[in-house]
Every structure is written in structure tokens, then in C-alpha cells.
């Protein structure tokens, strides 16, 4: 398979979960892959396993991102695929949203995502593909996701305007909205095993396909959007969620 042969791809949050699986998939499809993450240890170990280039930067730290862009420019000159994937999930109920949680979510999921694009834009070849990893939480009204969902809705809004503005350069900008995907993101929330199991059971019951998605299933969509097969697709969003967004009241 070589739908991405000759292309250079940057993936933020590429050391874990969806970003890790996508790095593997894009490499399998022939791309040269660079993963960016915030932990030297985790990025180095993932880069070694995947046999890709690893760069350390916290996406919410704009001077660190400037350095990362500089490094990519020095080593690879230009890029063709930007997968804006780094993100965190902090569940908080309305009435108990903390300033710290709000700031972290905004800094990483919104500011970090937007400035990843802003900073890498000068390196993007005409005809490149930007894929923003959003969430169906931008739409679902799921309890405890008011602020998290708002960061993703904001990213989707940016996606639409960016698609229009970058179209003259034939740069396509799309968003992928996953439903629940089995990755380490949930165990990083500080929720207990029991709470995680309760949330997992509840969500699986609501998903028409009755299971969590796999990171590889998101990677397939990202690889398609990154490729020339998606050459007429821009400004769009794709739900990959086992049908959860249709939110059936009477689940079968």
C-alpha cells in the first residue's frame, strides 16, 4: 500500500492512542512520519517502536512549537499532512467546572490545536491535508463534557473557516469526530477503575454497534483524508462513532 508515498506527515500527540495508531498507518501507506509529544520518555519510546522521527513539544507552549516547527523545517523542509490530534479529556460537571480544568482544556485542545496549524502553515505544501481530531462531544450534550465539548466545537468552527481561507492554496482542512475509542485518554482523567467501568458500560449500551471503537478505525479515516483519494473533500466533518451521534432513545 502506498497511497501516501513521498508525503511528509506531522502528528501531534503521536506517542499514544489514536495518534500512535495513525503514525503507524501513515507510515504503512508510505509517508515519512514525525510525531510530536510533550514527554521526552514517551515520545522517544514510541518513535523507536514506530521507527519514525520524534520531537518533544507541548502544543500549548507556543515557543516550544516554534522550535518544533524550526526542527521540522531544518530536517524535512516542507510537509504535506498535518494531523492535529494532541488533546486531553477532563470530565467536569456544570456548576463544578474549575478554572484550572477550563484553562488546561482550552490551552491544549483549542489554543494548542489552532496554533499547531498557524505555526506549521508556512511549511505546508500547496495541496496539503490538515486533519483536526475533534469529537462527537462537540454535539452530544453528554454530561461532564460541557467545556471539553466546547473546545472541540470551537475546533470544528475553525476547521470550516480555515477550509475556505486555505482553499486557494488547495490545502484541504477536515475534522474527524470520534465516539468513544479505547485509548489511554480515560485512565489519564484520574477517575477510579469503578467510575471508568461505569462510564464504559453506560456508553457501550448507548452505542448502536455496542462497543468502543479502536484507534486503528480512526487511523483509517485519517489516512483516507490525508490521501489524494479525498481530493474533493474539505471543510467537512466525519463521525466515526459506531452510530452514537444518532443517540437513540430506545436502543435495541
Ligand X SMILES: NC(=O)c1ccc[n+]([C@@H]2O[C@H](COP(=O)([O-])OP(=O)(O)OC[C@H]3O[C@@H](n4cnc5c(N)ncnc54)[C@H](OP(=O)(O)O)[C@@H]3O)[C@@H](O)[C@H]2O)c1
Exactly one of 20, 148, 158, 212 is catalytic; name it.
Answer: 148
Which are the contacts of 93, defined by CB distance < 8 A and separation ≥ 6?
143, 144
Our answer to whether residue 148 is catalytic in this structure is yes
Q: Does 149 bind ligand X (CB under 6 A)?
A: no
Interaction between residue 59 and ligand X (CB under 6 A): yes
Q: Please report whether residue 206 would count as binding ligand X according to CB under 6 A.
A: no
Query: Binding of ligand X at residue 16 (CB under 6 A)?
Result: yes
Per-residue burial over 65-84, b if 16 or more Cβ lie within 10 Å, else e, is beebbebbeeebeebbbbbb
CA distance 155 to 134: 7
Which one of 57-65, 71-79, 190-198, 225-233 is the stretch in contact with ligand X (CB under 6 A)?
57-65
Q: From the CB of 19, what's the least distance to ligand X, in Å?
A: 5
Among 3, 27, 30, 42, binds ligand X (CB under 6 A): 42
**Taking Cα atoms as reference points, which of 91, 99, 100, 42 lies closest to residue 199?**
91
CA 152, CA 134: separation in Å to the nearest integer?
5
Which of 133, 138, 147, 166 binds ligand X (CB under 6 A)? It is 133
User: How near is the Cβ of 125 to ligand X at its closest, in Å?
Assistant: 24
183 touches ligand X by CB under 6 A: yes
User: From the list 54, 149, 180, 242, which residue makes contact with ligand X (rule: CB under 6 A)?
Assistant: 180
Distance, CA of 147 to CA of 153 (rounded, Å): 10
Cβ proximity to ligand X: between 167 and 209 the closer is 209
Q: Rounded distance, CA 117 to CA 166, Å?
A: 11
Q: Which is nearer to ligand X, 37 or 242 (CB)?
A: 37
C-alpha distance from residue 172 to each of 133, 198, 246, 248 (Å): 14, 39, 27, 33
Q: Which of 108, 142, 147, 219 binds ligand X (CB under 6 A)?
A: 108
Stated length of the chain: 252
Q: Distance (Å, rounded) from C-alpha 168 to C-alpha 51?
A: 35
- Determine, following the binding rule CB under 6 A, whether residue 87 of this chain makes contact with ligand X: yes
Residues with a catalytic annotation lie at 148
Which residues would be at the binding site for ligand X (CB under 6 A)? 12-13, 15-19, 37-39, 42, 58-60, 85-89, 108, 112, 133, 135, 178, 180-181, 183-185, 188
Amino acid at each position: 500500500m502506498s497511497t501516501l508515498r513521498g508525503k511528509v506527515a506531522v502528528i501531534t500527540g503521536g506517542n499514544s492512542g489514536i495518534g500512535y495508531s495513525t503514525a503507524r498507518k501513515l507510515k504503512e501507506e508510505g509517508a515519512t512520519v514525525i510525531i510530536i509529544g510533550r514527554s521526552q520518555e514517551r515520545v522517544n519510546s514510541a518513535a523507536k517502536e514506530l521507527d519514525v522521527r520524534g520531537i518533544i513539544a507541548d502544543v500549548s507552549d507556543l515557543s516550544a512549537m516554534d522550535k518544533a516547527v524550526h526542527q521540522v523545517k531544518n530536517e524535512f523542509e516542507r510537509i504535506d499532512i498535518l494531523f492535529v490530534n494532541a488533546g486531553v479529556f477532563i470530565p467536569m460537571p456544570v456548576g463544578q467546572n474549575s478554572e484550572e480544568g477550563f484553562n488546561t482544556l482550552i490551552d491544549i485542545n483549542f489554543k494548542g490545536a489552532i496554533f499547531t496549524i498557524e505555526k506549521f502553515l508556512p511549511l505546508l505544501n500547496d495541496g496539503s491535508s490538515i486533519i483536526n481530531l475533534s469529537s462527537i462531544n462537540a454535539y452530544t450534550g453528554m454530561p461532564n463534557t460541557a467545556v471539553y465539548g466546547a473546545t472541540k466545537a470551537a475546533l470544528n468552527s475553525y476547521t470550516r473557516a480555515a477550509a475556505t481561507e486555505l482553499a486557494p492554496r488547495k490545502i484541504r482542512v477536515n475534522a474527524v469526530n470520534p465516539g468513544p475509542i479505547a485509548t489511554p485518554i480515560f485512565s489519564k482523567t484520574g477517575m477510579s477503575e469503578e467510575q471508568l467501568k461505569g462510564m464504559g458500560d453506560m456508553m457501550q449500551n448507548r452505542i448502536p454497534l455496542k462497543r468502543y471503537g479502536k484507534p486503528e478505525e480512526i487511523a483509517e479515516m485519517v489516512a483516507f483524508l490525508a490521501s489524494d483519494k479525498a481530493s474533493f473533500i474539505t471543510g467537512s466533518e466525519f463521525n466515526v462513532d459506531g452510530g452514537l451521534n444518532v443517540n437513540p432513545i430506545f436502543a435495541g
